[in-house]
Amino acid sequence: MNPIYFDNAATTPMRDEVVNAIIDVMKNSFGNPSSSHSFGRSSKTLIEKSRKTIASYLNVSASEIIFTSGGTEADNLVLKSAVKDLKVKHIITSKIEHHAVLHTVEELQKDYHVSVSYVNLDSDGCIDFLHLETLLKSEEKTLVSLMHINNEIGNILDLKRVANLCKANNTLFHSDAVQSVGHYKLDLQEIPIDFLVAAAHKFHGPKGVGFAFIRKNSALKPLVIGGEQERGLRAGTESVHNIVGLEIALKTAYDNLDKEKLYVKELKEYFLNKIKKEIPLVAFNGYSSDFKKSTYTLVNVCLPISQKKAAMLLFQLDLKGIACSRGSACQSGSSKKSHVLTEILSNEDLEKPSIRFSFSIFNTKEEVDYVIGVLKEFVD
């Protein structure tokens, strides 16, 4: 088999049409978009067209889309400005958020003495809504930060329910939607959320570009200081080719969503059935085997092998040409166990290897057969 890439939750391969659009912009639209001459105006026009396209798919105003270098910067922009500029004194989050949120919140707690509450989770990693409602009764100015789709176990948060709860309690709501934008339709007029972030490389776009949706009149201030780019909310010359790549990737994803979602969903279903047949003692972390409660793009499996053998698993898979991961790519160099799985698994299951397999339209059932064959051979 050719090398097999089952790590699409970490990043995705770019579509050909995205690559072609980026090359065209780099060759022909190299002007600084802040310049007043024709070269600059041409670049500025491309950025504003991209902004309008992205806004249209989320049903928001173009002025509410702010381009960033990716999801991490967008999360930092929202969280830090909410504390420094909006005077938020209390943050409600969970212990299984992406580290772009968790570490930022920890820093804000240390430097600004913000109080932090962690909402309770069930044994599969879903939030306790009754506990969330209790936490929302705080008299301090509060912001809730909960991700839409968990990047390790795929659990889906009911965004609309949380947004309505926050609105009813006069609370700001921010969501890291990096794993859902481009994979799920989101109407932000129906979902009264204040802040939402996305990254292009999660839906077959380029790395190094993303955006923050910032509800108008939010009074947020910039994290990066300098010029007046991005409505004064993000200084620095915009990466025009990456922004256009983001636009084309998002447009292509949403224009083909129904067909491509069905294909990937069937691929995940095939993977689940095949692995349960070949490795009967396999377990699934979180709700990753449940199509109603988890995303169709990934599955997180716990394999029935010893700790000693588990240490060699990813290495052996890599030797066989299979790319997958223990969890978030942002912590792959760490020797620590996944903070997500640590919250929901027993000590016994934590000693077993858990692997995340994440799929895209570029994967096939033949690849699934090969991967599960290699897993079965290793387990046996």
d(CA 48, CA 57): 15
Q: What letter does residue 202 receive in the DSSP assignment?
A: G
Decide: 78 and 129 in contact? Cβ < 8 Å.
no
Judged by DSSP in three states, 50 sits in helix
Residue labelled with tokens 């969280």: 79
Concerning whether 126 is annotated as a catalytic residue, the answer is no
d(CA 166, CA 218): 15
What DSSP line would sit under 128-188, residue for residue?
A: -HHHHHHHTT-SS-EEEE--SB-TTT-BBP-HHHHHHHHHHTT-EEEEE-TTTBTTB---T
Closest by alpha carbon to 114, among 87, 85, 148?
87
Alpha helices, DSSP H only, in the chain? 16-28, 38-58, 71-84, 99-112, 129-135, 159-168, 240-255, 257-278, 307-310, 313-319, 339-344, 347-350, 365-379
d(CA 198, CA 193): 14
Of the residues 126, 302, 324, 330, only one is catalytic, namely 330
Residues with a catalytic annotation lie at 330
